[in-house]
Structure 1
């Protein structure tokens, strides 16, 4: 546990400890994609961690998948997020924006332009998605034309610059489940151009996104989140999954990114290989990490930081509770997304801290 509470230099910023607030979609943004009225309070409450990674923020109209998720690509978004980043910095934490292009995990009812989602190929995920009209089938996405891909990459680059304009210390490329991952996955990518086929080609889109962001804001302000064991949302890599991620991480390592953030689902041999391939900071998230295991990955050297999701959601004073050995609040799944009938703050900014529990 003690190792978690030591400082660390991450890219160009100094972190007060090695605990990361994982990105968590909360679906409480305004209709124009600006942060909701309590976003600064929500994030500021949790700023005793070393690094806050924001909820997924779409880099464009095409990038929105769900209702009430925030964006970071127009002036109004920047102005709204400036209040949030100021609150996070006031609490001592640093903040990276997670850039999340939903790709095919979208519905026209949820996007500003009401168009079908875009994806590497016209392959529907075979799932439903929440809309304001209720759960609906996700429609067939439109396959991006080869000549459209540079513009999509540029959306990420532009959003990275806007995130820094908004006071962000950097950005995290969301590489799990959504557009980046859809290009990687055999089940979603049936292209025959330079972005499909062999694993090296399927990784090309993600690598070019990372290169564009690095050119715009610097490698030391760029991270990426991956999950080699994730198989939800109709995604799979066949038998070549481990080789795909070994290749991909090796190529990303050459860019000198600030960090690699892995959501880990149990392939310890692959995790060990990725640790050896990666020469910068590694953040490790174990979704089912037990309290007695807090800090073990940092102490062992497997990771440089550990990220926590629902535990930081439910415990605004997560660090204080760890230091005191105090009990942890339990997150209420019923209030993860959107406002509840009882009020906007319920399950958002009303979790009790030790001094008021």
Structure 2
């Protein structure tokens, strides 16, 4: 973090000495010529300090300065932060744990007329973690209180960090975070947020279904010969993810969308028999409203086994960020082929598996 025009505040002893100097940089209103000088000491406009050594909230519990719920939360691919509280006052208020910031003998002169003390604290525990670690140039942030700005390169304000300054009354307080070229902003006065990567604020990111299993029989004739197999048992499990960012690729969905990925495995061949499934026909995916989803991509990769091939399918879908419930209908159909004999065996016992999936 590199503050603009702010004296460094690495240790509390240093912060207290800076505070004393700032407080005595006063405004002196001199009376008419010949009269004894009179005046009022004020903490100068623009005086500022910060501290990242605060493990608790400095604002009282249930105070209106506290942010409620997730209104102070900002999330990205490389950061997670939460605004704990924002407070403005003309004199140091009761109930605030400001000794963490100023030491035990806090004593500030009042601000100049038209100015006020303003304090911003970020939550000691944001309640969330960043999915990935930022590479050089991927993350930056700026916190502004009126004309005072703090810039961050490769990071965001730290948990528990407090920023304090003397600013004009009701001066704007804003936070801007740029993460992999996407910008999210927060107006801390109005408690509004813009540019949110919406899928990061709803639901979980990964779900595995229960195991799906069944068995089928196959039978056919060719000339005077009969061909059959009994009890081909299949088992598979579906793994689903909701993503907005992938390292090395970047953002994979628009701010109001998410990339749904479904992966499952299938025994493509065994003991000389091949059961290849038509993916378009075998797997149907529906969103929360029941409407069928169309895959953006469908790929597979094969793994050779000792007596067959295991095929892993990967499908992707573009879905709304708030879509958290999906229905999979999986119906593996025949025929099963016997390449060595150049025959296809229709199957019996096949069935549809309806699978409900929730990211809630």
**TM interval, short-chain normalised:** under 0.3
From the CA coordinates, give the structure whose radius of gyration is larger: 2
More strand per residue: 1 or 2?
A: 2
More helix per residue: 1 or 2?
A: 1
Normalising by the residue count of structure 2, what TM-score does the alignment of the two structures yield?
0.20
Q: Which has the higher contact order (CA 8 A, sep 6+)?
A: 1
